[in-house]
A and B are shown apart, each in its own frame.
Chain A
Amino acid sequence: SQKIEQNSEALNIQEGKTATLTCNYTNYSPAYLQWYRQDPGRGPVFLLLIRENEKEKRKERLKVTFDTTLKQSLFHITASQPADSATYLCALGFGNEKLTFGTGTRLTIIP
């Protein structure tokens, strides 16, 4: 069965630094990969989608890379701020609209 691992359960980063989160998967490569932000007691918020034929996607301070050889996606937040503190989820899609979510990384930006 498909396994998705996000690098660590919790990550602490100093304000202003770049936070890098990792999403690794096994078995089949997805048609696309998505990153979401989830705050406690709230539903996930869509951030970025990257397709299998794309290497990199950017949106403001966010950058996502997708390496199908390594079976890995990296999610970067540059110039991190305390407001970026949340749980970040990666999700794999295989072209049928269904998503399979990773367990998430709880990111804390320390002022």
Chain B
Amino acid sequence: GAVVSQHPSWVICKSGTSVKIECRSLDFQATTMFWYRQFPKQSLMLMATSNEGSKATYEQGVEKDKFLINHASLTLSTLTVTSAHPEDSSFYICSADRANYEQYFGPGTRLTVT
């Protein structure tokens, strides 16, 4: 149990376009999901906390108008990178809180902006 999926697993887009990444909890409901980004050989940096039915909470320094988060249901959260630029290229990972503070992570999405 506790499977989280992400789609797509990798995406290449042109500068100025928008990209949507989906995060789904497949076998449990998650009122809270999290979005992280990870640069090569670095740790995970929390971008935002996504709450079902309410606005996301963004970490300091993360532009909420650039990284749009929608938590439409108890099993789906989406991250849209708007007007992407090469510096947005990174590994984006979501996680879902199942219970007792155990977080289960998706396999990640590799975004490359050309």
What chain A residues lie within 8 Å of B105 (beta carbons)?
36, 43-46
Top 6 nearest A-B pairs (CB, nearest first) are A43-B105, A101-B43, A103-B43, A101-B44, A43-B108, A43-B93
| A89-B43 in contact (CB<8A) | yes
Task: Say what secondary structure dominates the interface of chain A.
Answer: strand
Task: Say what secondary structure dominates the interface of chain B.
Answer: strand
Q: How large is the interface on A (under 10, 10 to 19, 20 to 34, 35 or more residues)?
A: 20 to 34
Q: How large is the interface on B (under 10, 10 to 19, 20 to 34, 35 or more residues)?
A: 20 to 34
Q: Counting CB contacts under 8 A, is B46 at the interface?
A: yes
The stretch among B61-69, B78-86, B94-102 that forms the contact with chain A is B94-102
In the complex, per-residue mask of B1-45: 1 if CB is within 8 Å of any chain A CB, else 0: 010101000000000000000000000000010100000001111
| A99-B42 in contact (CB<8A) | no
What chain A residues lie within 8 Å of B93 (beta carbons)?
43-44
